[in-house]
Amino acid sequence: MLLRTAVFLGIATASALVSGGEAGTPAGTGAPGAPGPVGAGGAPGLRPAGPPEKSYRLRPMTAEAPARPPTVKPAVRNRPILELPADAAHASAMVLTFDDGPDPRYTPAILDTLARHGVRAMFFVCGEMATENRDLLRRMVAEGHVIGNHTWTHPLIPTLGRSALEAEIGRTSEVVRQSVGEAPLWFRAPYGAWNRAAFEIGADLGMEPLAWTVDTLDWKEPGTTTIVSRVMAGAGPGVIVLNHDAGGDRTQSVHALATYLPQLLARGYRMTLPTLPPR
């Protein structure tokens, strides 16, 4: 008799546990109006009959998060920007740009000169150089300069198929993003050789195309004095100057910058950065 009673009590206890809720709370039908979970307003609600509602498991956790605004991309241009807008804000402004780097043999000296005069510039980097010199990318950003995209290997764009060009531009933007936290917002075609695909791919990656007004031709190594003369002769409101900090021996470029920059400042020019057009 005692054995039968013990077995009966064991079965009854197991049955009660199985019928309980997810937290082990008994979930019998109970009397109408029995206290249930606390509602959203803090007042006790009524426990529904049957098993607890589990459909919340099917709701995405981000259902209540506000939707992110879509990224606004620039319009696809059919020509690059060549100079700053002709307005009062840029009456004495010029932009200094440096292509093909960063190169640890020359870029640090250029950065030193810019810092000495409190000037910011733009550096259009090639991905194959950038990936090996990420510390220089970080220094550029830390000192207030702007990094632009100059493709990965500096190819002649019109000779590439679209997929190859997408890789050249896309990989460079990704290296910059990984290194400094943000992808470039400006793009420059090597040799100034633009085509429709370059404008489309650049815009799709959120970049504006920027060219130049004054070409120092420093890559030809014409001599420091010649480079300085070209910059000073071409100086003017809204001018964008093209220099190089890599791609060959850039000793002349380094020395030329140290010579012409204080002369430009003494003439009343101020070195600035371009503003992104409205999108």
* 3-state secondary structure (DSSP) of residue 121: coil
Q: How far is CA 149 from CA 47, 53, 88, 182, in A?
A: 62, 54, 29, 12
Sign of CA dihedral 221, 223, 225, 229: negative
- Say whether 99 is catalytic: yes
- Catalytic position from the list 99, 100, 103, 245: 99
In terms of Cα–Cα distance, which of 169, 183, 196, 213 is closest to 81? 213
Gap between the Cα atoms of 186 and 167, Å rounded:
17
- Catalytic position from the list 145, 150, 154, 244: 244
CA 68 to the chain's CA centroid = 17
Under DSSP, the state recorded for 210 is B
Whether the ω angle into residue 102 lies within 30 degrees of 0, i.e. cis, is yes
Decide if 102 contacts 125 (C-beta within 8 A): yes
Residues forming beta bridges with residue 93, ordered by sequence position? 270
Gap between the Cα atoms of 125 and 97, Å rounded:
10
Q: Which residue has the tokens 């199985």?
A: 18
Residue 240 has phi, psi (to 5 degrees) of -115, 120
CA 121 to the chain's CA centroid = 18
Please, where are the H alpha helices in 19-68? none
Q: Which positions are annotated as active-site residues?
A: 99, 244
